[in-house]
Amino acid sequence: MWHIIIAVMKNISLTKPLAVIDLETTGTRYYADRIVEFSVLKIYPDGTEEYKSRRVNPQIEIPVGASNVHGITNEDVKNEPTFRQLAKGIVEFLEGCDLCGFNVLDFDLPLLEYEFERAGISFSRENRYIVDTMSIFHMNIPYDPSMSRNLESAYGYYCDKELKNAHSAENDVIACAQILDAQVAVYEDLPRDIPGLCKVCTKSREGYIDLVGKFAWVNDEACFTFGKHNGRLLREISEKYPDYLGWMINQDFSPEVISIVANALQGVFPEKD
């Protein structure tokens, strides 16, 4: 599907295309789940916009829980192309683009990268700026257990509108672009260019060892950032509580984290470049 839509970016200066992406998937594990719908709103520096969306046969079952979220069933995608069949075209469409999304750093982009890897297609973050509207939302709105911090909430907060048909591909990418534009208008200290916004969104991630920061650098040593050993060094835990690392290996962590833990049990620890 392809069409031109109404301009959504008014407060941000672009020097190259910005691709706002949204994925509907079989689940929430970026390293194991698969795409069932890929959507992208491509915004050019001159204000021209393109939107593309395609449903994808994930080649695994879509759990009922996932279908209840996005409304896409196994029957809906059984005759759709696989990601491998679409991968080359997606890479070409994203060529030369910076990237944006809601939770794109922790979910959409890592999952997309795993899909490209499985398809044998080269895709890199290099020479791309990445902006995550969820990161900006969470940085500026203190945690409140009574308030959801999802895309719908962000849209209501920044755009003062109800997001109808959330998890509808087109609505989500347009909403994300509108949220970013509104965030720049609301927060005067935010940069109004993509490189500056990328720096804001990724600053807290500079010490990450794995993609989503289960381990981070502390004085050039790998340190836990989650769980009961949060804040303690991996080396210390491997010496005092090796059974905990053994337990982790059998849990549903990403391949990166499993590799770090397995190596630690062998006395091999991450080294900072």
Q: What is the pLDDT of residues 48-105, one digit of tens each?
A: 899 999 999 999 999 999 999 999 999 999 999 999 999 999 999 999 999 999 999 9
Bridge-partner residues for 41, per DSSP? 20, 51
Place of tokens 């995608």: 77
Cα separation, 172 vs 78, in Å, equals 24
Cα separation, 9 vs 14, in Å, equals 9
Identity of the residue numbered 232:
R
* Beta carbons of 219 and 270 less than 8 angstroms apart: no
Which domains can be identified in the chain, with CATH numbers?
A: 2-205 (3.30.420.10), 215-265 (no CATH)
* Beta carbons of 104 and 25 less than 8 angstroms apart: no
CA 28 from chain centre, in angstroms, equals 11
Identity of the residue numbered 175:
A
Cα end-to-end span (Å), the chain: 44
The pTM for the full model equals 0.89
Which band of pLDDT confidence, cut at 50, 70 and 90, is reported for residue 1? very low
Our CA angle for 24, 27, 30, nearest 5°, is 90
Give the containing element (helix H, strand E) for 262: helix 255-265
pLDDT tens, position by position, 26-53: 999 999 999 999 999 999 998 889 999 9
3-state secondary structure of 99: strand
